[in-house]
Amino acid sequence: MIERHVPPLMNVIHSQIESASCPESIKEAMLYSLNAGGKRIRPLLLIMAAQSYKPVTNSAYKLGAALEMIHTYSLIHDDLPSMDNDDYRRGKPTNHRVYGEALAILAGDALLTESFQLVSDISEDDMHPRDIVHITRRMSESAGIRGMVGGQVADIEGEDRALRLEELEWIHRHKTGALLEFAVEAGGILGGAPEGDIAALKIYAENLGLAFQIKDDILDVEGDAEIIGKPVGSDTDNQKSTYPSLLTLSEAKNKLDAHIQTAADALRTVSCDSSALLSILQYVAKRDR
């Protein structure tokens, strides 16, 4: 059961934020979005990867909490009026609708900052300081202009025109793929995986990330609005370039299957028991929200 890791993960998140001596309002705004649900895909991927090599330690939850904070900060900022201008996220009012724009921006800033503090607090018993520095570097690469933020900028700039398939894929590889790939890589490093395994884990994560995104696009076409927690068909209404719109729905499904297959093939080469990682892959392929 993957989900058993969620309560200890949320404990780390809560104690990290609640221990700070600062105005209560900002803690509340940060925790509101962290508690708003979501699939916790990034921390769970990290924990699964780490656990494939070694029993899970508190450091895995810290690193998982860091990933969830980065993901949550990106959602808060993406939802702002000057970006996607979304009023609802996961069926709840977005952060700025509850706390106002100023506090929402600062809550995002604070979550991003806190994520690096969590990494710096990883125990030396679990990771050599040199590896903690390496994790810091890779995390900032994945989250910044070389990764997530770069993808978000390209996404905004591509909004009002038809994208080519390569452009759409570049956006996904950066906007969502980079952080997913880092999650699996970091889990492998935390678990002490051999170099060759790390390379295979990254291929797995890269293809999992693209599959995840194609599935998102497919769900927007044929998902159930109540299960997804947002309206169906919004991509079409917004004339957004998606895999189904660029490829047809049936070709998008073929592409999804191909990425799932490549990821599964990569998993077959690793030296650990990869059944947990395989189950996440199957979950992404079959999820209905």
**Between 149 and 258, whose beta carbon lies closer to a second copy?**
149
Residues 172-231 binding a second copy (CB under 8 A) are: 174
Measured distance CA(88)–CA(109) in Å, rounded? 20
Residues 77-96 binding a second copy (CB under 8 A) are: 77, 80, 82-83
How many residues sit in the footprint of a second copy (CB under 8 A)? 55
Q: Which residue from 3, 64, 92, 81 is spatially nearest to 39, judged by alpha carbons?
A: 3
Stretch that binds a second copy, among 39-47, 121-129, 233-241, 258-266 (CB under 8 A): 121-129
No. of H helices and E strands in the chain?
16, 2
Q: Smallest distance from the beta carbon of 279 to a second copy, in angstroms? A: 31
Measured distance CA(32)–CA(198) in Å, rounded? 34
| Residue 100 interacts with a second copy (CB under 8 A): yes or no | yes
Give the number of other CB atoms < 10 A from CB of residue 151: 22
Binding mask 127-146 for a second copy (x = CB under 8 A): -xxx-xxx-xx-xxx-xxxx
| Residue 23 interacts with a second copy (CB under 8 A): yes or no | yes
Q: Which residue from 270, 267, 248 is spatially nearest to 259, judged by alpha carbons?
A: 267
* Residue among 51, 152, 242, 245 that touches a second copy (CB under 8 A): 152
Are 198 and 185 in contact, with CB atoms under 8 Å apart? Answer: yes
Residues 38-67 binding a second copy (CB under 8 A) are: none
| Residue 236 interacts with a second copy (CB under 8 A): yes or no | no
Taking the mean position of all CA atoms in its chain, how far away is CA 48? 14
| Residue 235 interacts with a second copy (CB under 8 A): yes or no | no
CA dihedral 35, 281, 175, 50 (to 10 degrees): 70
Q: Smallest distance from the beta carbon of 148 to a second copy, in angstroms? A: 9
- Which two three-digit tokens encode residue 219? 């769900």
Residue pointed to by tokens 């104690």: 15
* Residue among 106, 221, 232, 276 that touches a second copy (CB under 8 A): 106
Name the E strands within the chain: 88-89, 92-93
Question: Which residues in this chain contact a second copy in the complex, by CB under 8 A?
Answer: 17, 20-23, 25-27, 30, 73, 77, 80, 82-83, 100-103, 105-106, 108-110, 112-114, 116-117, 119-121, 124, 128-130, 132-134, 136-137, 139-141, 143-146, 149-150, 152-154, 156-157, 174
